Amino acid sequence: MIPVRDDLRALDGYHSAQVDVRVRLNTNESPEPPPAAFRDAVAAEVSRVEWHRYPDRAATELRAAIAELHGVDPDQIFVANGSNEVLQTVLLAYAGPGRTVATFEPTYQMHAQIARVTGATVVEGERAPDFTLDPAEVERVVSEYRPHVVFLTSPNNPTGLVEPVERVMQLLSIAPGLVVVDEAYAQFAEWSALDLVAEDRPLVVTRTFSKTWSMAGARLGYLVGPTWLVAELDKVVLPYHLDAVKQIAGRLALRYSDDMNDRVEHIVAERERIVASMSDLDLEVFPSGANFVLFRVGPGQGLAVWQGLVDHSVLIRDCSGWPRLTDCLRVTVGTPEENTAFLTALADVLTHPSSTDGVTV
Ligand code: PMP
């Protein structure tokens, strides 16, 4: 074995336990696939792909279609393999050694993880115990560290909380560098920072096809930002990073936005049903604007409740061992049947305690 870079030695990779179960509600995917008409349209176009040629390096048609969706210029759109790669490209261009990236914890772990991989220093601001963000804390982090990049996630993962527009505006008014608003779950929420994107504002908003568009399997994400910033990202990203099939799939998906909006409506209705049912149980449930719900069980019971659900063949995300998320679990909104299975299992686990790894529920 040869030693990895010194600054990477202590890094822990991204983990999500995978267990063979009947009901999988652990990775915030869409419970429904895209419509059959979309799959047929993709298959027809893919049959005409010139496999011996490189794909369109600028993803011209896909960028134009996304730009039309948001009413912006195609030069304001950067596309990549999942929003994770969008974030990575942003951080390669604007973070890196000698630079500082700020997050407000708890939030999506990959922001800090990717920033560290680029060699940047990560500073962590703190959220209040209810996971809201205090303006004074935003002020403190910005004035103390002068970060080159600051992240907000709205709705936040794993908390589900929507960041108020005032908080984004406050950050924009004082940030010395780039502000990234990660909107992987924005269609489930009431407002979006997209309208704030402007040529004279160092703001990018990132989006994904993995959740609302039911295309986690395709790995496609994008950002909307100023044209001068997108031009820098185009320099940094690998040539031909976005394959021909993905460009087709992304472009065609946007023709089915009515289906997407219907799915979002179903999921939001189911989310409200889950939250209402959970209020009957002895739990702390955090308000969610996303396609998942974070909740807190009794002290020290997180792992046992998670395991109890697995024993009922229901897999959710165990966040109880993560910093600042003691006793917290996160459930993704699934189909009505899956959600009912989860709620029934949860009620059973909470009322019929069992023992796991020495922890008693
Ligand atoms: N941002 C947030 C907040 C997420 O929760 C996720 C996925 N879990 C991503 C970005 C990455 O999404 P993808 O790479 O699938 O587009």
pLDDT digits (tens, 9 = 90+) for 124-142: 999 999 999 999 999 999 9
Where do we find the tokens 């189909």? 335
Written as tens digits, the pLDDT of the chain (361 aa) is 899 999 898 887 766 777 899 999 999 999 999 999 999 999 999 999 999 999 999 999 999 999 999 999 999 999 999 999 999 999 999 999 999 999 999 999 999 999 999 999 999 999 999 999 999 999 999 999 999 999 999 999 999 999 999 999 999 999 999 999 999 999 999 999 999 999 999 999 999 999 999 999 999 999 999 999 999 999 999 999 999 999 999 999 999 999 999 999 999 999 999 999 999 898 999 999 999 999 999 999 999 999 999 999 999 999 999 999 999 999 999 999 999 999 999 999 999 876 554 444 3
For ligand 1, say whether the CB of 113 is within 6 Å of any of its atoms.
Answer: no
Report the pLDDT value the prediction gives residue 354, as an integer from 0 to 100: 67
> What DSSP element (H or E) covers 126?
strand 121-126
Residue 355: strand, helix, or coil: strand
Cα 82 to ligand 1 centre (Å): 7
153 lines ligand 1 (CB under 6 A): yes
CA–centroid distance, 83 to ligand 1, in Å, is: 6
Ligand 1 pocket residue status of 82, Cβ below 6 Å: yes
28 touches ligand 1 (CB under 6 Å): yes
Whole-number pLDDT of residue 353:
72
User: Residue 91 Cα, ligand 1 centroid: separation in angstroms?
Assistant: 15
Q: Is 222 in the pocket of ligand 1 (CB under 6 A)?
A: no
- Judged by DSSP in three states, 14 sits in coil
To test the pocket of ligand 1, the residue of 25, 87, 110 to mutate (highest count of ligand atoms within 8 Å of its CB) is 110
CA-proximal residue: ligand 1, atom 5 (nearest) = 157
The rounded Å distance from CA 48 to ligand 1 centre is: 31
Tens of pLDDT along 189-228? 999 999 999 999 999 999 999 999 999 999 999 999 999 9
- Find where tokens 């990549």 sit: 80
Provide the pairing of β-strand 23-24 with 314-315.
parallel
Question: 244-253 and 36-46 are packed helices; what angle lies between their axes, rounded to 10 degrees?
Answer: 150
Q: Is the CB of 80 under 6 A from ligand 1?
A: no
Give the Cα separation of 82 and 216 in Å (integer). Answer: 8
Q: Which atom of ligand 1 is nearest to the CA of 219?
A: 15
Mind listing the pLDDT tens digit for each residue in 42-65? 999 999 999 999 999 999 999 999
Both tokens assigned to 238: 């690998």
Q: Which residues pair with 180 in a beta bridge?
A: 151, 204
Is the whole-model pTM more than 0.75?
A: yes
CB of 35 within 6 A of ligand 1: the answer is: no
Write down the pLDDT at residue 360: 40
Q: What residue's CA is closest to ligand 1, atom 7? A: 184
Ligand 1 center to 188 CA (angstroms): 14
pLDDT of residue 18: 77
233 Cα to the center of ligand 1, angstroms:
19
Ligand 1 in reach of 210 Cβ (< 6 A):
yes
What the block records as the tokens of 34 is: 């895209």
User: Is the C-beta atom of 307 inside 6 A of ligand 1?
Assistant: no
Domains and CATH numbers, the chain: 6-32+258-351 (3.90.1150.10), 36-256 (3.40.640.10)
- Ligand 1 contact via 108 beta carbon (within 6 Å): yes
Q: What is the pLDDT of residue 357?
A: 47
Does the beta carbon of 208 sit less than 6 angstroms from any atom of ligand 1?
A: yes
Strand order in the sheet with 149-153: 77-80, 221-224, 203-208, 178-182, 149-153, 100-105, 121-126
Concatenated DSSP letters for 98-113?
Answer: T-EEEEEESS-HHHHH
Cα(89) to centroid(ligand 1), Å: 14
Residues sharing a CB contact under 8 Å with residue 278, sequence separation 6 or more, in sequence order: 285, 293, 295, 343, 346
